[in-house]
Amino acid sequence: SLGALVCDLEPGTIPASHPDILEKLKLCPALTGAQQDALNALLLSGDTAYGDPSSWDLQTLQDLGPLVLALNQTTLSLVAEAAREDFRRSIAAAYISQGRSQREKSLTLLRALAAASGASQPRLQRSADRCPWGPITASNIEDVALLSPEELDLCLSNAVLVDNLEAVLDLPITSQANLVLKKKVDEFFQESGIPEEKLRHLGMLSRLYTEEEISHWQVTSSDTLSALLSDSGGEWSDSQVQQLLSRYLALGGSLTGPLLQEIGGKHLCNLQEEQIQQIPAAAIGTAGKLDISSCSQTKKDQLYRKAQEAFSSLASSPGSYYCQIHPYLGGAPAEDLKDLANADVAINMDLGTFLALNPEELQKLSVTDVKHLLGKNLPELKEHEHEPLVVSWVQQQSQKELDCVLGIGLQGGRPEPTGTASPAATSTATVTTPAGVTSMATVTTPAPTTPAGVTSSATVITPVPTTPASVTSTATVTTPASVTSTATVTTPAGVTSMATVTTPASVTSMATATSTATVT
**Most confidently modeled of 170-184, 382-396, 445-459?**
382-396
pLDDT at 20: 79
Indicate the range of 147-151, 167-171, 223-227, 482-486 predicted with least confidence.
Answer: 482-486
Q: Which has the higher per-residue pLDDT, 106 or 309?
A: 309
- At 118, the pLDDT band (50, 70, 90 cuts) reads low
- At 492, the pLDDT band (50, 70, 90 cuts) reads very low
pLDDT at 355: 96
What is the mean pLDDT of the segment spanning 500-513? 40
Is residue 506 over pLDDT 80? no
pLDDT at 96: 67
pLDDT tens-digit profile of 197-243? 999 999 999 999 999 999 999 999 999 999 999 888 888 998 999 89
pLDDT tens-digit profile of 288-333? 899 999 999 999 999 999 999 999 999 889 999 999 999 999 999 9
Q: Which has the higher per-residue pLDDT, 255 or 483?
A: 255
Is residue 19 over pLDDT 80? no
**Most confidently modeled of 159-163, 285-289, 478-482?**
159-163
pLDDT at 129: 63
pLDDT at 4: 54
pLDDT at 146: 74
pLDDT at 119: 56
pLDDT tens-digit profile of 156-178? 999 999 999 999 998 888 888 99
> Running DSSP on this structure, what letter comes out for residue 414?
B
Is residue 504 over pLDDT 60? no
- How far is it, in rounded angstroms, from Cα 160 to Cα 156? 7
What is the mean pLDDT of the segment spanning 463-476? 40
34 sits in the region (left: phi over 0; alpha: psi -120 to 50; else beta) called alpha
Is residue 97 over pLDDT 80? no
- At 29, the pLDDT band (50, 70, 90 cuts) reads confident
What is the mean pLDDT of the segment spanning 31-42? 90
132 in Cβ contact with 123 (< 8 Å): yes
What is the mean pLDDT of the segment spanning 265-288? 90
pLDDT at 419: 57
Architecture of the domain delimited by 133-192: Up-down Bundle (1.20)
Residues near 239 by beta carbon (within 8 Å), at least 6 away in sequence: 211, 270
Is residue 251 over pLDDT 90? yes
58 in Cβ contact with 32 (< 8 Å): no
491 in Cβ contact with 471 (< 8 Å): yes
- How far is it, in rounded angstroms, from Cα 466 to Cα 403? 73
Quick one: CA dihedral 47, 49, 50, 54, positive or negative? Answer: positive
Is residue 139 over pLDDT 60? yes
Is residue 104 over pLDDT 80? no
- At 440, the pLDDT band (50, 70, 90 cuts) reads very low
- How far is it, in rounded angstroms, from Cα 30 to Cα 8? 11
- How far is it, in rounded angstroms, from Cα 507 to Cα 149? 105
pLDDT at 512: 38
- At 505, the pLDDT band (50, 70, 90 cuts) reads very low
pLDDT at 476: 40
Indicate the range of 122-136, 284-298, 448-462 predicted with least confidence.
Answer: 448-462
- How far is it, in rounded angstroms, from Cα 483 to Cα 487? 13
Kindly report the average pLDDT of the chain as a whole number: 79
Whole-structure pTM value: 0.59
Closest CA to 166 of 232, 106, 216, 220: 232
Q: Which has the higher per-residue pLDDT, 494 or 333?
A: 333
pLDDT at 110: 76
Domain ranges of the chain: 6-116, 133-192, 332-415
pLDDT at 456: 39
Peptide bond into 468 cis (omega under 30): yes
pLDDT at 290: 92
Residues near 91 by beta carbon (within 8 Å), at least 6 away in sequence: 106, 109, 110, 113, 145, 172
pLDDT at 120: 53
- At 482, the pLDDT band (50, 70, 90 cuts) reads very low
